[in-house]
Each structure stands twice: as structure tokens, then as C-alpha cells.
A and B are shown apart, each in its own frame.
Chain A
């Protein structure tokens, strides 16, 4: 932590998952950085792209299977409607603590100066186009471009 005297100048967050809890984690970290005067950028890749896909971003779910912290037997978590129920409950709790929904959160991030990028490889794989994506996404870039974007002192990278 001797680099840049330990000060964080910029957070580079890679979001690779499309489950509600992971998307929120990435968004809160990016927004929290901006609130502290730290720059922040998000690189959306693989299922993380769902969080910026206009038609999909309103329909993200909490994972009920393969998530031991849900304290729900895996067999039960796989039942039809279980994910929707868990998601509904989580969204209700989030509204109580003044947590914005995904679209509003993207607007907040955008207005706060968080730069957002979509991963070219993943966009090609899912056959998405730029116009499918949230307007605040600046560009579709390669992983090399993202590394270039991450140059400088006090830059930290985080994979979600």
C-alpha cells in the first residue's frame, strides 16, 4: 500500500454477474467512490451486461440456488416462482432503505460521473448492439482498452 501513499484515486469495477445482489454491490461501490471524490468506472461483461440491457435491466433476480447465505434448501430455491418471490422481498426491503431501482441507479451513476463501458467480446457473444444498451454506456470496448483506461497512480481494480 505504499503506492500513491495508499490513496485511492480511481476504482475500476468489473461486473460479470447479472444477479441483483451483485449488480447492487458494484453500483454501491461505484457510487460510494464518487461520493468520496474518487473516480469510478464500470466494465460490464458477460452476465453483467444484463444490468445495462434496456429490456433486461428491470428484470434482474436474486439467486436462490447455489447461494448458501439465502438459508434456503437448494431444492426449494429451484421451485418455480421462488426466485421471483425472493426478488420481490429483497426489492421491498431495498425501497425501505432508500435504495434506488436499477434504472434510477444507472441514472445516478451517470449523473455522478461514473464512466460505463460494455465488453466487446460479451456484446458480440450475446449479439447485442449499442442501441440495446443504456444511454449512459459510453462505448463498447475491448479488455485491452479497459486496461489502458486503468493506467495511473492509485488505481484499484475490483472484480464482481
Chain B
């Protein structure tokens, strides 16, 4: 389905995740974070860029992998994105929701 995010027409799935990463830009990320009630700081952006990079390299994202990222530990990840951090952060980053149980 299509919806307007930050004034752009964007294709998303039924859970609101972008289906085409090329439609993502920082304005879209900001709009999606506002919907999740998160005020993005430079630290958030570091994590978002990291997630996008991992996705580009086809790494399956999980909480465990975030903890081993060397960038952010699990505790801080939960502080940055308090509600369902992996789901929220990947949505803001414009990448698919990870199908991970750990």
C-alpha cells in the first residue's frame, strides 16, 4: 500500500515497514521516528546507519547481534528505542522487520 511520509509517496507493507529502501531518506526516518514518539539524537542516527549497513550486507538482525555490534550494547539499545527496539529501529531505518526470536 501507499502512504504519504514527509510529503513523499512511499510504499509500505501492512505493518508500516518500507518495502523499497530507495524511497527512504533522513526526512522519512524523522517522520517515522516522530510517529514512534522518539526524538532522534546523533546516537540514534549512528544505530540507524548501522542497521541499514547490516541489512545491506544481508546480516540477519537480532538482539544478540546488536549486543555484539561493538557500537551499542543491549541496554542502551532499549534506552534509545524503549518500546520493541528492534522493530521500531528497523521501521525508522526503512528496512524490513527482522524475523528473529532472540
Contacts and interface: CB of A to CB of B under 8 A. Distances in A.
A and B from one assembly? yes
Interface of A: 28, 31-32, 34-37, 98-100, 104, 108, 111-113
A111 B63 CA distance: 10
Interface residues of B, number: 19
A28 B74 contact: no
B64 A98 contact: yes
Interface of B: 60, 62-65, 67, 73-75, 78, 82-87, 100-102
Given A28-B101, A98-B102, A111 B87 contact: no
B84 A112 contact: no
Contact of A31 (B60, B73, B84, B102): B102
22 contacts: A31-B63, A31-B101, A31-B102, A32-B101, A34-B78, A35-B84, A35-B85, A35-B87, A35-B101, A37-B82, A37-B84, A98-B60, A98-B62, A100-B64, A100-B102, A108-B63, A108-B102, A111-B67, A111-B75, A112-B75, A112-B78, A113-B78
